[in-house]
Amino acid sequence: MNFKGTLPTLILEALVREPTHGYRIAQSIKERSEGVLDFKEGTLYPALHKLENEGLVESYESNETGRARRCYRITKTGRATLARDRAEWRQLSRAVTVILGEA
């Protein structure tokens, strides 16, 4: 399913639960959507870099099972953006549902 525009929001949602690395973010999105949101993992990192440039997430080095990994955590600004995105999404989703006559 094409959900390119919502990928940054989904990344923020994954990071609000726990700071983690790129692979786990991808798996979390796929698992929680029960496989519906199956995106190409190569596009996850550019989205993460964009969020980092905008100050919505920050990265840090972490040692996981003896291997150095780049992990990401959500910032205060990121949490505020996520709250705004959630509200906008609910509004949009409600409107589309009404138009499609499924309310």
Partner 1 sequence: MTRLDSWLKQATRHLSKDAAAQVRTEIEEHYWSAHEAAIADGAASAEADLRVIAALGDPKLANREYRRVMLTCSEARALREGNWEARTLCSRRWLLLAVPLAVLCTGVALLLAGKTAVAQVPLAGGAAMALLLGATFLPIYTPARARIFRWVKWATLLAVFLVAFDLKSSWLLISCLWLLAWTEWTRIALRRKLPVADWPKQLYL
* Residues contributing to the site for partner 1 (CB under 8 A): 21-24, 26-27, 39-43, 45-47, 49-50, 52-53, 55, 67, 69-70
CB of 64 to partner 1, least distance (A): 9
CB of 3 to partner 1, least distance (A): 14
CB of 43 to partner 1, least distance (A): 5
Q: What is the DSSP letter of 43?
A: G
Nearer to partner 1, 53 or 100 (CB): 53
Cβ atoms of residues 91 and 84 within 8 Å: no
Nearer to partner 1, 38 or 93 (CB): 38
What ranges in 1-103 are assigned the alpha helix state H?
7-17, 22-32, 44-53, 76-99
Q: Which residues of 8-27 are buried (b: 16+ CB within 10 A; e: fewer)?
A: bbbbbbbbeeebbebebbbe
Nearer to partner 1, 64 or 88 (CB): 64
CB of 89 to partner 1, least distance (A): 22
Within 8 A by CB and 6+ apart from 58, the residues are: 52, 72, 73, 75
